[in-house]
């Protein structure tokens, strides 16, 4: 079994068991706390007019639908067919074009770029979940989709998120209900060392145009009622 196949099966299992209820998934925070904040940072870097926007790793499409209200053409793509089933059920009017895509596979990225041309990419929390051998091909695929004119906005958990997650998992009350399924399916959040990300970017022929720290909001709360936020960093990439 290839690394990508194992990864795909883990996500299929996760999304098959996930609820359609808004906020049921740990990272499925409302756009006001996620994509809306990110878009304010990303839009100044969208220098080419009219490019499609691709939500890469769209999951159940919560952020994709938000983006579709702001841009003429938005595609939501994900490795998992089960995730896309959730996304399409939540979009009965068919506002968004949801497609299954493994951007790690060079031919799939090239085929999509040949179809729709250069794109802008929004990607939240995908790189840090990838198997280590898939991370460079992921950035290479992003570079293909961007072409010469596109820009990518990536939000990734920093390595400082890992001890926070471990503390939550090992708490006296056990792991929070929305966090436990992630680990139960063999997924590994916050598993990327911060310093290596720049190397992946450079090897893909891209550059970091802008970056900063910004916590990533979850849908889970502490016993005291405080929303759990994880240390994260955002990056704008382009050729």
| Interval 46-80: pLDDT, tens | 999 999 999 999 999 999 999 999 999 999 999 99
Angle at CA 222, nearest 5°, toward 218 and 228? 25
41 has pLDDT over 80: yes
**Distance from C-alpha of 69 to C-alpha of 96, rounded to nearest angstrom:** 10
For 156-213, what is each residue's pLDDT tens digit? 998 888 888 888 878 777 778 888 888 888 786 666 778 899 999 999 999 999 999 9
> Percentage of residues in the chain with pLDDT exceeding 70?
97
What one-character DSSP code corresponds to residue 183?
H
For 129-162, what is each residue's pLDDT tens digit? 888 889 999 999 999 999 999 999 999 998 888 8
20 has pLDDT over 70: yes
Instruction: Report the SS3 class of residue 208.
Output: strand
**Distance from C-alpha of 143 to C-alpha of 122, rounded to nearest angstrom:** 13
Which residues, 6+ apart, have CB-to-CB distance to 220 below 8 Å? 26, 176, 177, 178, 179, 227, 228
Contact 63, 150 (CB under 8 A): no
And the tokens for 101? 């895509």
* Closest alpha carbon to 238 in 175, 169, 145, 146: 146
Contact 95, 65 (CB under 8 A): yes
1 has pLDDT over 50: no
Q: What is the mean pLDDT of the chain?
A: 92
């Amino acid at each position: 079994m290839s690394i990508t196949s194992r990864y795909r099966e883990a996500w299929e299992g996760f999304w098959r068991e996930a609820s359609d209820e808004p906020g049921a998934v740990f990272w499925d925070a409302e756009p006001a706390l996620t994509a809306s904040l990110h878009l304010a940072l990303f839009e100044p870097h969208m220098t080419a007019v009219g490019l499609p926007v691709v939500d890469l790793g769209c999951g159940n499409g919560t952020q994709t639908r938000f983006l579709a209200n702001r841009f003429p053409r938005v595609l939501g793509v994900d490795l998992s067919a089960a995730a896309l089933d959730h996304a399409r059920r939540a979009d009965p009017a068919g506002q968004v074009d949801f497609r299954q895509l493994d951007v790690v596979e060079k031919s799939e990225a090239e085929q999509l770029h040949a179809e729709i041309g250069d794109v802008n990419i929004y990607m939240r929390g995908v790189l840090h979940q990838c198997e280590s051998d898939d991370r460079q091909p992921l950035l290479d695929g992003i570079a293909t989709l961007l072409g010469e004119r596109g820009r990518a906005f990536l939000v990734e958990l920093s390595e400082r998120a890992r001890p926070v997650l471990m503390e939550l998992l090992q708490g006296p009350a056990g792991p929070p209900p929305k966090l436990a399924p992630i680990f139960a399916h063999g997924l590994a959040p916050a598993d990327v060392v911060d310093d290596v990300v720049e190397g992946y970017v450079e090897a893909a022929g891209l550059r970091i145009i802008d970056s900063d720290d910004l916590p990533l909001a979850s849908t889970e709360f502490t016993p005291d009622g405080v929303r759990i936020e994880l240390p994260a960093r955002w990056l704008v990439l382009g050729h």
